[in-house]
Amino acid sequence: MVSPSSQDDSNVRSQLCQHLRFLYPEANAEELADSVIAIFDDFQPQIPLPLNQLWSEQDCLLITYGDSIVDGDVAPLETLDQFLSQHLQGAVSAVHVLPFCPFSSDDGFAVIDYAQVNSKLGDWSQISSISDRYRLMADIVINHCSSQSQWFQNYCDGVEPGATYFMEASAGDDLSAVVRPRASPLLRPTKTANGLKHVWCTFSHDQVDLDFRNPQVLLEFLKIVRLYLQQGVSIFRLDAIGFLWKESGTSCIHLPQTHEVVRLIRTVTDSFAPGTLLITETNVPNHENLTYFGNRNEAHVIYNFSLAPLLVHALLTGKTEYLKRWMMSMPPAPVGCTYLNFTASHDGIGMRPAEGLLSDEEQLQLVETVRSFGGKVSTRRTEGGGERVYELNVALFDALQGTVAGTDQWQVERFLCSQTVMMGLEGIPAFYIHSLLATGNDLDGVAATDQNRSINRHKWGWSDLQEHLGDDRSVHAQVFRELTRRMQLRRRHAPFHPNATQFTLQLSEPFFAYWRQSTDRSQSIFCVYNMTNQVQELRLSDLNLISTDVWYDAISGLRFDEQTSVLELTPYQSLWITNR
């Protein structure tokens, strides 16, 4: 530890005042800054890591609910820890445990009490146990909280804390341009001690939006950040952050004040807990998502939301043009920033990030194909009052059970290809637990909850899972073993550093390919993927391999000699052609 100098303390206070004056021009910024500093008064700044050491090719993230695996009366967080120890050592470096607090709906995203661990999952000691061995990522569900929270009960009763914590709307407010991810009514009539009020609910009427125009709400969430840091959390996912600040007459998404709140949280974590990472969850069109890097002063990491719909589209159609076009348009992440690459999540495959990248016809074909494979579709309300597809709800393994022509025998190969593409891209790869386990659509879960998203939120019994993973004939074992093998392979190759050079290769239509080069330029990897269910010929001369180097495929171990000129790639085969 290094004690902060008075100069450092003065600089932090000055930065906080700058943020706070912008957010709360009528308030006393100096007093608010002192309140922020007081929250972290016993957090001693450490010497921060250089920007090029925040992550490496060794990093890979697992996304899971605390109870994705259950074992009778054993605390699910303890079972998760056991699964990590037995099956994922040497494969993942970080774990995102989805909301683990007491909640009332949305599988954790309607938080009742941010300061507690849901007793059905375990307790803080089990959260800390995971953080002892992995970088731990936790959600700050910052836009809204549960209508069953004490804050909201206090709001209804007219007492603090809570009486002034929630976003209200009045009859004169212009809400015509509000962008939302749901088709439900925006406002919820609520009886309070001060009469009937209409509270803002971006997501559902059980998830009531907080009013960050009140600085006390900001201070409450900084206390939550402080608590989570104490418990070992080192990556914070700012959930639904784009909707945070609302103003009548605007779209109420990505407002300047929202970006300023992110910058303030970044200043706080950089100052009091260097090495802590911020990731913003903004399931929106690509150009909007990129703004959350800010000027390298907002998110360290942003989700690569467009990857999932474009990659699934390419694998279902065999067309790579849209995926290539997007790849070529993506800027390298700024220094000290990177992307989080993922192909599946607890929600679904977001379609908003495909807007402007896939035509309406291509999107419709994708939707109908996924539906034919048992998937569901969720919609959102548009500005004109209509509805549009918001996300595809489907287990990714089942989404890839065939092509637009129907099911075929290449499901496993197609799925492995999807994950291998994601693994090789610029950024940090993130695997949803049900992708690693090749879990299929949970239609029973959908029937039980009447929620489309339950289709990809299956709960495995620990003994049942162990039996499957121990059975060589099980598709779950086959996919899991090959994916973890490739995850471990990836860690050995410097060109897979999240910020290593990436260049899209212009091969023929059946192929999607890109070149990665290590930051010291000593190693190259040509990543080539057959995106079709047909055998395809690849001419190595098209890759311009340096003739003085020895080249081989890191995945299969196949070595190429001077006589090798043409390779036959089987359906959905992946190659990582490297010189080291």
The tokens for 396 are 């990714």
* Residue 67 is labelled as binding a ligand: no
Nearest to 39 by CA among 162, 275, 265, 219: 219
Q: What does the block give as tokens for 176?
A: 């015509």
| Banded model confidence at residue 36, pLDDT cuts 50, 70, 90 | very high
Tokens of 437: 């386990």
Confidence tier at 564 by pLDDT (50, 70, 90): confident
Model confidence at 75, pLDDT cuts 50, 70, 90, reads very high
| 238 annotated binding-site participant | yes
Strands (E), 330-485: 338-341, 349-350, 376-381, 387-393, 402-403, 406-407, 428-432, 460-461
Question: What's the mean pLDDT in 334-345?
Answer: 96
Nearest to 490 by CA among 545, 429, 416, 431: 429
State both tokens at 15.
């930065």
Q: How far is CA 147 from CA 111, 153, 166, 208, 451, in A?
A: 9, 7, 10, 6, 19
Instruction: Report the predicted TM-score, pTM, of the whole model to 2 decimal places.
Output: 0.95
Q: What is the pLDDT of residue 1?
A: 36
Please determine, for residue 385, whether its predicted confidence score (pLDDT) is greater than 70.
Answer: no
Q: Which two tokens stand for residue 575?
A: 């190659």
Say whether 239 counts as a known binding-site residue.
yes
DSSP letters for 273-291: STT-EEEE---S-HHHHGG
Residue from 341, 493, 350, 534 nearest 422 by CA = 341
pLDDT at 20 over 50: yes
Distance of CA 11 to the CA centre of its chain: 32
For the chain, how far is it from start to end, CA to CA, in angstroms?
Answer: 39
Phi, psi of 285 (to 5 degrees): -50, 150
- The annotation status of 472 as a binding-site residue, yes or no, is no
Mean residue pLDDT of the chain comes to: 94
Distance CA 463, CA 473 (A): 17
- What is the layout of strands, in order, in the sheet containing 574-578? 501-504, 511-517, 524-530, 574-578, 551-553, 559-560
Q: What is the pLDDT of residues 259-318, one digit of tens each?
A: 999 999 999 999 999 999 999 999 899 999 999 999 999 999 999 999 999 999 999 999
pLDDT for residue 392 is more than 90:
yes
Residue 5 has pLDDT above 60, yes or no: no
- pLDDT at residue 49 above 70? no
- Residues designated catalytic: 239
pLDDT, tens only, 188-205: 999 999 999 999 999 999
Identify the pLDDT of residue 51: 66
pLDDT at position 4: 46
pLDDT, mean of residues 201-227: 97
pLDDT, position 379: 87
And the tokens for 52? 């090029």
Report the length, in residues, of the chain.
Answer: 580
Task: Please compute the mean of the pLDDT values over residues 386-394 and round it to a whole number.
Answer: 89
Structural element, H or E, at residue 479? helix 475-490
Annotated binding-site residue? 21: no
Give yes or no for residue 2 having a pLDDT over 50. Answer: no
The answer to whether residue 452 scores a pLDDT higher than 80 is: yes
**Dihedral over alpha carbons 541, 546, 547, 550 (to 10 degrees):** -110
Q: What is the pLDDT of residue 561?
A: 77
Whether the CB-CB separation of 569 and 538 falls below 8 Å is answered with: yes
pLDDT at 535 over 60: yes
pLDDT of res. 3: 44
Where residue 544 falls among pLDDT bands split at 50, 70, 90?
confident
Segment 400-430, tens digit of pLDDT? 999 999 999 999 999 999 999 999 999 999 9
Q: Give the pair of three-digit tokens for residue 249.
A: 């007459």
In 3-state terms the chain splits into helix, strand, coil percentages (rounded to 5) of: 35, 20, 40
The amino acid that residue 425 corresponds to is: L
Tens-digit pLDDT profile for residues 230-251: 999 999 999 999 999 999 999 9
Q: How confident is the model at residue 550 (pLDDT cuts 50, 70, 90)?
A: confident
Sign of CA dihedral 213, 284, 327, 422: positive
Q: Which amino acid is at 452?
A: N
Q: What is the DSSP string of 98-141?
A: ---S-BSSGGGTSBS-TTS--TTT--HHHHHHHHHHSEEEEEEE
- Please give the pLDDT value at position 541: 87
* Model pLDDT for residues 474-485, shown as the tens digit of each residue: 999 999 999 999
39-48, 51-60, 84-93: least confidently modelled range: 39-48
pLDDT for 565: 82
